[in-house]
Amino acid sequence: MGRWRDGRAKLVVHADGHGGSGYGEGAEGSAVTVPLELATSFRARTRGLLGRDGIDGAILLSPASSIHTFRMRFAIDVAYLDRKLNVLNVHTVKPGRLTLPRLRARHVLESDAGTMAGWGLRPGARVTVEESTRLS
């Protein structure tokens, strides 16, 4: 896992927690792929989901260990990830709230409220990020 840049990618949720390459091979090795926005610059992390009415997929704030939902228009699911992209905690945050920093969290994943459970994203799960290849 190198250093990411602001842009688009794919989030792969490995519900079994292993993060292997068993895409779609039954319940044990199944994975869910979700559209992902990467917010790694200070400006992109600060903007986050402010001013939006929703998100298609998720946004990954990195580095980050806490978030706020002041001036947001909708509730969000929030997952705290460690440096190896293991899910530490997942919960729903209403607009106008501030979360405390999470110990060991290095990244924060955000999506529309109620979507992460459908992806199998829960404490102990592992995710991977597949960056889009760009031509310079």
The per-residue pLDDT for 3 is 80
Q: Give the mean pLDDT per block of 10 residues along the chain (136 residues).
A: 84 72 46 96 92 93 95 95 97 95 96 96 96 60
The span from the CA of 50 to the CA of 34, in Å, is 20
* pLDDT score at 2: 58
Buried b (16+ CB within 10 A) or exposed e, 72-97: beeebbbbbbeeebbbbebeebeeee
Q: Report the pLDDT value the prediction gives residue 133, as an integer from 0 to 100.
A: 58
In this prediction, residue 116 carries a pLDDT of: 96
pLDDT for residue 112: 97
Structure confidence at residue 23 (pLDDT): 35
Task: Determine the straight-line distance between the first and last CA of the chain, rounded to whole angstroms.
Answer: 21
**pLDDT value of residue 30:** 80
pLDDT for the residue numbered 21: 40
CB-count exposure of residue 20 (10 Å: 0-12, 13-18, 19+): middle
| pLDDT score of 17 | 54
Tokens of 51: 């001013």
Q: In this predicted structure, what is the pLDDT of residue 16?
A: 65
The reported pLDDT for the residue numbered 15 is: 72
- Given a contact cutoff of 8 angstroms between Cβ atoms, the answer to whether 53 and 88 are in contact is no
